[in-house]
Structure 1
């Protein structure tokens, strides 16, 4: 069992407790394969033989993912945990304090042995940088938003940051091994995974084997524009901000599989403190206006909680998604067009990626 003691998972199964106090778990227990409700640990089994399983899909001939929150045996999959939907806390101060306390306790428990921090200067990674005594790394093209934000953010924290500076050749070299690791060629998946893969590879080359990431903050705390615009954004079905946030949380297992596979392929183990059960439970109880304010400010409760450790210019800084802030999305598009894959073509960046793999 990865991520938790078997007895803890056994108790969680008996009680139906989706959040027994872990950062995720997966493995074999009493003749069944089990995986936590958010899919934070990976788990696969041979499609026709669940007794043959692994946390690494590459060692199996025909791996099938065990779904998050499920148990699998020879008879099939059974959902054993569901994502709770608690009533929102009405007292805003108490809600923010709950988030602050969960962050404090969780970050205090993170070991910094052989650890580096992926730092892009936004509130998520700044929290990690402020609390973890570990070197900071940022990846991006020269002049990119993330590189500049990381430099100014590190300065505000009295820290240094190591820049993984990219060029077109680095992108082209990275695509085939990345695609081999994540098993996907679609443009969005590759654009999101590339910065993780590239910074993790540099971290591994520098002798670290663990990389702290701010994964989960956007999903938990209302960081997406489509959540802020609910119910008017056609990309979500929900009619409320909290409902749209839940839709985003349901995408986490798929996103985490991509990111964990990319990071491990580069030679390091991802560490995701913001996805610990304590933090998740505190976030689930937030009212909609502490996710997104009436003025459209996103991740509001997280930002208010982060003021305990961050100056306001970092706690309330807006930041682009990593594929855009690093300029990887733009430059991969540019490479595609330079190699004859024009924008008038259907999904031209995906076609370019597939050409590199071929």
Structure 2
């Protein structure tokens, strides 16, 4: 069992508590049952009586769905993410306490921080005595933001900048595609910068990488959530409902990201996805998720206890765009003859490199 003591997981199964105070777990209990936490923060695969935390050792691996148990050849759901009533008493304080406690529990040993300069990774960096790593192409928004935020936080000497090259991306495309088991353009473009920053940290001797993952999904960081119900990408008619739709995508995203990071030689550490932070986020009203043009309002207000306002307020592009990786993968696809007029030309390029 990874992520939690077997007895704690067994207790959560008995009580039905989907958020029992862990940072995620998956694996085999002493009685033989396989289990995976409600958000899928850890991985568990099975095949013909065998199981593994990674798919490679198994002939035909099946990923155990998040919130499920596997026993006697069948899977069944045992946990569902709570949908609590709004409780906006001391909203900022509750979020701040949950984040602070989650980060205080993180061990700094062998740890580096993936730092792109936004509020999520800056929150993690502010609490941890660990070096900061950012990757991107020369002139990318992520590198500029990381430098500016590190300077504002007095951490510029801790920042390691790795400017990637086109040939480096070209070599990494098939490696990442194989590692995550996917060829679609979006997944590969998202996984690439994670893989590259993890590989750089691993080369410097670190075997754990802390990330700000989950904050956008939990606290309303996406434009489609902020624009609900007008945005056609979500079916919900409220910000909270749209946030729940986005949260449902986390298990699939986490499988991709965990596999990419492990292939690069590090174990991910995601304190902003701790159960206590999840509980604090779920109780917030829509106005504490999105207020006017401000997304992740509760998170940003909580962050001011540790971060300069300029960092707490910073808006940032998604990693595949902020690092310019998506742009350069598109360039590689076109150079290889996969023109934009072709349907899903980048995916076709990735498939040709497998």
Shorter chain as denominator, the TM-score bin is over 0.9
Deviation at 1:340, TM superposition (A): 1.2
Deviation at 1:297, TM superposition (A): 1.1
Aligned to 2:287: 289
| Farther off after superposition, 25-34 or 268-277 | 25-34
Deviation at 1:167, TM superposition (A): 1.1
User: Does 1:89 find its partner at 2:87?
Assistant: yes
Aligned to 2:238: 240
User: Does 1:333 find its partner at 2:330?
Assistant: yes
Aligned to 2:316: 319
Aligned to 1:7: 7
Aligned equivalent of 1:127, options 109, 123, 126: 123
SS at structure 2 position matched to 1:220: helix
Deviation at 1:339, TM superposition (A): 1.7
Equivalence map 1:186-205=2 (5 Å)? 186-205=184-203
**Aligned partners of 2:115 and 2:3: how far apart in 1?**
24
Q: Could you tell me whether the CA contact under 8 Å between 1:117 and 1:129 is conserved in 2?
A: yes
Q: Deviations along 1:226-267, whole A, 9 cap, x unmatched?
A: 000101111111110000000111100000000000000000
User: Does 1:105 find its partner at 2:123?
Assistant: no
Aligned to 1:21: 21
Equivalence map 1:108-257=2 (5 Å)? 108-160=104-156, 161-257=159-255
Q: Which residues of structure 2 form unaligned runs of 5+?
A: none
**Aligned partners of 1:204 and 1:90: how far apart in 2?**
42
Q: Could you tell me whether the CA contact under 8 Å between 1:34 and 1:70 is conserved in 2?
A: yes
Q: Which residues of structure 1 form unaligned runs of 5+?
A: none
Q: Could you tell me whether the CA contact under 8 Å between 1:139 and 1:166 is conserved in 2?
A: yes
Aligned to 2:260: 262
User: Does 1:343 find its partner at 2:340?
Assistant: yes
SS at structure 2 position matched to 1:223: coil
Deviation at 1:75, TM superposition (A): 3.9
SS at structure 1 position matched to 2:209: strand
Aligned residues: 351
SS at structure 2 position matched to 1:137: strand
Question: RMSD of the alignment, in Å?
Answer: 0.8
Please report the TM-score for the alignment, with normalisation by the length of structure 1.
0.97
Aligned to 1:310: 307
| Farther off after superposition, 181-190 or 67-76 | 67-76
Aligned to 1:45: 46
Q: Deviations along 1:27-84, whole A, 9 cap, x unmatched?
A: 11222111100000000000xx2x3100010010000010000011124111101100
Please report the TM-score for the alignment, with normalisation by the length of structure 2.
0.98
SS at structure 2 position matched to 1:245: helix
Q: Could you tell me whether the CA contact under 8 Å between 1:172 and 1:356 is conserved in 2?
A: no
SS at structure 2 position matched to 1:13: helix
Q: Which runs of 4+ in 1 moved over 4 A?
A: none
Q: Deviations along 1:146-200, whole A, 9 cap, x unmatched?
A: 0000001110111131111111100011011111110001000000000000010
Q: Could you tell me whether the CA contact under 8 Å between 2:88 and 2:283 is conserved in 1?
A: no
Deviation at 1:355, TM superposition (A): 1.6
**Aligned partners of 1:74 and 1:238: how far apart in 2?**
37
